[in-house]
Amino acid sequence: MTGPGFIDIHEALAPDRLALAIRETARRSPQEPAVVAAAGSSDRRSIDYAALAALVDRFEAAVLAAAPVGVVARARNVEALVAIAAACGSAGVPVALLADDARDLAGELREWAVVDDSLVLTASSLPHRRQDDGPPHVVVATSGTSGPPKFVQRTWDTVLAAARLADQWHGLGWLLVYDVTRWAGIQVWAQSLLTGGRLVVPASRDPDTVSRAIVEEQVAILPATPTLLRRLLTSGDARLLAQSKLARITLGGEAADGPLLDRAKAVFPGARISHVYATTELGEVFRVTDGRAGFPASWLGREMPGGIRLSTRRDGELLVQLSRDSADVATGDVVELRADRYEFTGRRSDVIVVGGAKVLPRRVEDLLRGVPGIAEARVYGQPSAITGELVAAEIVLVEPLPTNATPESIRAAALTTCRESLESHGVPRILDIVSRIKTTAAGKVSRRPVTVAP
Amino acid sequence: MTATVSEAIATAIRTVLHDTGRSTSGVEPSMLLSSDLGLDSLDLAQTIVLLERSLGVDPFRAASGSRPSIRSVADLIMIYESAVNPT
């Protein structure tokens, strides 16, 4: 896509880039699908680059005419949302990507114009944007593994910073399993649209729907959290998945464990699996591509590409120094040395305190997932008046169950395994078999207790 | 109601003992939680969560200030009965 006559989007200012890339692809390959929405279902619809560019043009004209201080995108359709984002960047107007939820608009957003799937900007008495208002930014809601989401401001530079624009990344099929308005999701659609790719949005996160979307739409790249990948591998249609053309799986948002990586390699032998370590504050810190859990122990204490240095606090929390003269940044992630690797054992904030003793839920989850017959596990703190908290867990069993196993025998084996490997306060006291574990909007394991049901 | 509460308590204690790999014998009201049944504070905490599920109440969460002493199974029965049937 960098042939003669192609505009080099590197040269454009960041806010313009998305619209520029969409228009350029529309000019060269107008019928190329830009977005395949509701993929894997009978409601599937495909929007080509010409149609998407037309949406961008139309909305940019509307924004330029109305000149709002900012635009709040409350679109439900993916193509509408990305068109709004691209048009706002191009028009130099800030945009908040909030999708269709009932969240109240706080602070500056109250003065912004709101737009939905219709892409109609209603004329309003809201204040107008001034020439000297500065470069347009993007407002996104943070995922928040716990607590309510917060709004954060990002520059277009940071939105597009992680996008890979080299030729090898052009024209690929990207699966969007993340929420389209969350940071991880924005990265995926921005990457796809900047490189003339096909953004495939499954109709739901149901594993069979995702499997169909991957195969039917010939998805090449699957960015996902380990939790979402685990669900796909456990419950997705195995025969269908065997036909997939996946070339890459990019994991992020949570730590990936060894068994999951091995399983993914077995189901998708043709896919390269990488694991991105990033934090909200630092962005992408490093990427592990050797298909093993954690990262090489040798990375600690020496300068890595990009000038980054990793170290650990005494309690195992991973510290990142971005450059020689910057301070260490605490990541909140706890690592543990296992043979030649540092493996992630959990988030500091996820720690469950049982009678004063600390338990990292991830460690327990990893143990549970290693028990034959257990597909998924979630560990959380159950409030207790006696001990503060108790370790509680939910497990999802494999289907079909292993020969001679019963749900009760698997549950007993899980408790035995935990008793043999953990101190008594770390052994789950509540262990429920469920059909599906709770995940956050960002596709990560939820750490919240279940509401007690009789 | 008495039968239900004491049955629920006996069931919860048996589950705790079973889950932690201990032998389960009969649970009688006269038994002391610690010396007769070998329950520690984690076991008691688990019992209370299980009882919240079966009886729908957690009298210890609501209790502010002094916590009633719980030494025997009978103490538990009394506390849960007054929580299930407040008068």
- A351-433 falls under which CATH superfamily? ANL, C-terminal domain (3.30.300.30)
Rounded-to-integer distance, Cα A192 and Cα A190, Å: 6
Q: What is the Cα–Cα distance from A62 to A123, expressed in whole angstroms?
A: 10
How far B41 CA lies from chain A's nearest CA (Å)? Answer: 7
Q: Which of A430, A447, A433, A358 is nearest to A395 (CA)?
A: A433
| Closest chain B CA to residue A409 | B19
Q: Which of A68, A116, A115, A121 is nearest to A94 (CA)?
A: A68
Q: Which of A199, A194, A242 is nearest to A222 (CA)?
A: A199
Spatial contact of A127 and A57, defined as CB atoms under 8 Å apart: no
Contact A390 B46 (CB under 8 A): yes
> What is the rounded CA–CA span in Å between residue A74 and residue A55?
16
**Residues of chain A neighbouring B20 (CB-CB closer than 8 A):** 415, 419, 427
Does B53 contact chain A (CB < 8 Å)?
yes
Contact B45 A390 (CB under 8 A): yes
CB of B49 within 8 Å of a chain A CB? The answer is yes
Q: Which pLDDT does position A4 carry in this prediction?
A: 45
CATH class entry, domain A1-293 = alpha beta
- Residues of A contacting chain B (CB within 8 angstroms): 354-355, 382-387, 390, 392, 415-416, 419, 424-425, 427, 429-431, 452-454
What's the confidence (pLDDT) of residue A452? 45
Predicted confidence (pLDDT) per residue in A77-131, tens digit: 999 999 999 999 999 999 999 865 546 666 677 888 989 899 998 766 777 877 6
Distance from CA of A143 to the nearest CA of B (A): 30
Chain A positions in Cβ-Cβ contact with residue B61 (cut-off 8 Å): 383, 385
What interface predicted TM-score (ipTM) does this complex get? 0.90
The three state secondary structure string of A110-155 is HHCEEECCCCCCCCCCCCECCCCCCCCEEEEECCCCCCCCCEEEEE
Closest approach of A431 to chain B, Cα-based (Å): 9
In the predicted model, what is the mean pLDDT of residues B24-41?
Answer: 89
Please indicate whether, in this complex, the C-beta atoms of B41 and A385 are within 8 angstroms of each other.
Answer: no
Q: What is the pLDDT, as a whole number, of residue A382?
A: 93
Q: Residue A197's pLDDT is what?
A: 97
- Count other C-beta atoms under 10 Å from residue A240's C-beta: 14
Confidence of residue B62 (pLDDT cuts 50, 70, 90): low
- Polymer length in residues for chain A: 454
Inter-residue contact A1 to A196 (CB < 8 Å): yes
Rounded to 10°, the helix A78-91/A14-28 angle is: 120
Residue found under tokens 């090449």:
A220
Mean pLDDT across chain B, nearest whole number?
A: 86
Return all residues near A177 (Cβ < 8 A) that are at least 6 apart: A202, A205, A210, A222, A223, A224, A228, A443
Question: What are the φ/ψ torsions at residue A439 (nearest 5 degrees)?
Answer: -125, 160
Burial class (CB in 10 A: 0-12, 13-18, 19+), A231: buried
Q: Which residue of A has its CA nearest to B42?
A: A387
Peptide bond into A127 cis (omega under 30): no
User: Which tokens sit at A44?
Assistant: 């599937």
Chain centroid to CA A414: how far? 29
Q: For residues A182 and A280, what is the distance between their CA atoms, to the nearest angstrom?
A: 12
Domain range list for chain A:
1-293, 297-348, 351-433
> How far is A346 from A335, CA to CA, in rounded Å?
7
Mutate: best of A429, A430, A431, A451, partner B, most B CBs <10 A? A429
Q: Do B45 and A430 touch (CB under 8 A)?
A: no
Task: Spell out a b/e string for A182-196, using b for 16 or more CB atoms within 10 Å of the CB, else e.
Answer: bbbbbbbbbbbbbbb
Residues of chain A with pLDDT under 50: 1-5, 102, 145-146, 452-454
Residue corresponding to tokens 């954060």: A152
How far apart are the C-alpha atoms of A106 and A289, rounded to whole Å? 41
Sorting pLDDT into bands at 50, 70 and 90, what band is B1?
Answer: very low
pLDDT at site A310: 95
Burial A57-76 (b: 16+ CB within 10 A, else e): bebbebbeebbbbbbbbbbe
